[in-house]
């Protein structure tokens, strides 16, 4: 579903060069739930941004769903992102002066093929999926952190993405709410077959996924099946 071949990313700021990623070769098969761990600054966000076509590698090839990304024209990238990828961030990235329903509808505003009434229907279905049907008219400030993250997941789901990229989705949540979010992601993966790549600092969360890749200093240092997960199934 996602293939990274020989990816390198160098940030150039004035005279300072930072190598954020090097020699990254990673294949994420369709339907996998992969977690990425590693210390702060090791390149996890950069990796996720490159997988999500939000950032351009300095070298190497990204393939999404069998399609090599050869052009980095904004419009084409936006199209692939819109069609295939949903993003979930640690800090939710909701629009505070829009209602829950309007926040979830946002990604479809740019799709001329979807009518306003279909947009609302799809948003309600996505909110049902995350258990937030009773909060459609609320505003983000009226919700708990866990509920806000569920809105963000519903927003990621509305375009029916094949891939969800989640950057520390439980990082701002207490353990109970973190578990809830994790269970939603696990359901999406197991029931809908959504491919998920999740960056996390939480070893317990990583142990619930299928595979764990660890990074250090911009390089993969380990790649292993998660056995706890296999035993549960
Ligand atoms: P992580 O997500 O693991 O904390 P990042 O991917 O954010 O790591 O960063 C990897 C390295 O690249 C760090 O040294 C960071 O300072 C650097 N970096 C990240 N983004 C930029 C940027 N836009 N400009 C310059 N350096 C960056
Ligand atoms: P998080 O760890 O929560 O993912 P980061 O601190 O890694 O957040 O990065 C937040 C944003 O700032 C990222 O989009 C990254 O590209 C950018 N960034 C990180 N380090 C640098 C840096 N040294 N210079 C410029 N931008 C950076």
Q: What is the pLDDT of residue 227?
A: 82
- For residue 204, what is the DSSP state? H
Count the Cβ atoms, other than its own, within 10 Å of residue 141.
Answer: 9
Span 2-225: which CATH code?
3.40.50.300
List the strands of the sheet with 211-216, edge to edge: 85-89, 163-167, 195-199, 33-37, 211-216, 219-225
Minimal CA–CA distance to 81: which of 126, 116, 48, 130?
A: 48
Residue 47 Cβ contacting ligand 2 at under 6 Å? no
Instruction: Kindly state the DSSP code that residue 138 receives in the 8-state scheme.
Output: -
Is the minimum distance from the CB of 200 to ligand 1 under 6 angstroms?
A: no
199 Cα nearest atom in ligand 2: 4
**In this prediction, what percent of the chain has a pLDDT beyond 70?**
97
pLDDT digits (tens, 9 = 90+) for 118-149: 999 999 999 999 999 999 999 999 999 999 99
pLDDT in tens, 50-108: 999 999 999 999 999 999 998 888 888 988 998 899 999 999 999 999 999 999 999 99
Place 229 in a pLDDT band, splitting at 50, 70 and 90.
Answer: low
CA-to-CA separations, 173 to 77, 95, 130, 192, 197, in angstroms, rounded = 31, 19, 16, 25, 19
Query: Does ipTM come in above 0.95?
Result: no
* Residue 90 Cβ contacting ligand 2 at under 6 Å: yes
Question: What is the tens place of the pLDDT at every residue in 161-176?
Answer: 999 999 999 999 999 9
Judge whether 112 and 143 are in contact, CB under 8 Å.
no
pLDDT at residue 112, as a whole number: 78
Q: What is the pTM of this model?
A: 0.88
- What spacing in Å lies between the alpha carbon of 12 and ligand 1's midpoint? 11
Contacts of 210 (CB under 8 A, 6+ apart): 32, 33, 34, 225, 226, 229
Residue 146 CA to ligand 1 centre (angstroms): 27
Which residue's CA is minimally distant from atom 20 of ligand 2?
Answer: 41
Local confidence band at 233 (pLDDT 50, 70, 90 cut-offs): very low
Give the angle 126-130-136 at the CA atoms, nearest 5°: 65
Alpha helices, H only, the chain:
44-51, 74-84, 100-105, 116-129, 145-157, 175-192, 203-206, 227-232
């Amino acid at each position: 579903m996602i293939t990274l071949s020989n990816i390198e990313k160098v940030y150039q700021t004035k005279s300072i060069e930072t190598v954020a990623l090097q020699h990254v070769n990673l294949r994420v098969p369709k339907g996998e739930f992969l977690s990425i761990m590693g210390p702060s600054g090791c390149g996890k966000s950069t990796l996720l941004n490159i997988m999500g076509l939000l950032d351009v590698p300095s070298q190497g090839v990204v393939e999404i769903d069998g399609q090599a990304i050869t052009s980095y024209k904004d419009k084409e990238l936006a199209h692939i992102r819109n069609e295939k990828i949903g993003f979930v961030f640690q800090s939710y990235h909701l629009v505070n002066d829009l209602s829950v329903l309007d926040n979830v509808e946002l990604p479809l505003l740019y799709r001329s093929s979807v009518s306003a009434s279909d947009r609302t229907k799809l948003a309600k279905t996505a909110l049902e999926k995350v258990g937030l049907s009773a909060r459609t008219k609320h505003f983000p400030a009226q919700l708990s952190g866990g509920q806000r993250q569920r809105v963000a997941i519903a927003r990621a789901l509305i375009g029916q993405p094949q891939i969800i990229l989640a950057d520390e989705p439980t990082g701002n949540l207490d353990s109970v709410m973190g578990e809830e979010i994790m269970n939603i992601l696990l359901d999406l993966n197991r029931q809908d077959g959504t491919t998920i790549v999740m960056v996390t600092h939480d070893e317990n969360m990583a142990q619930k996924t299928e595979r764990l890749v660890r990074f250090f200093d911009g390089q993969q240092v380990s790649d292993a099946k998660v056995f706890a997960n296999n035993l549960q199934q």
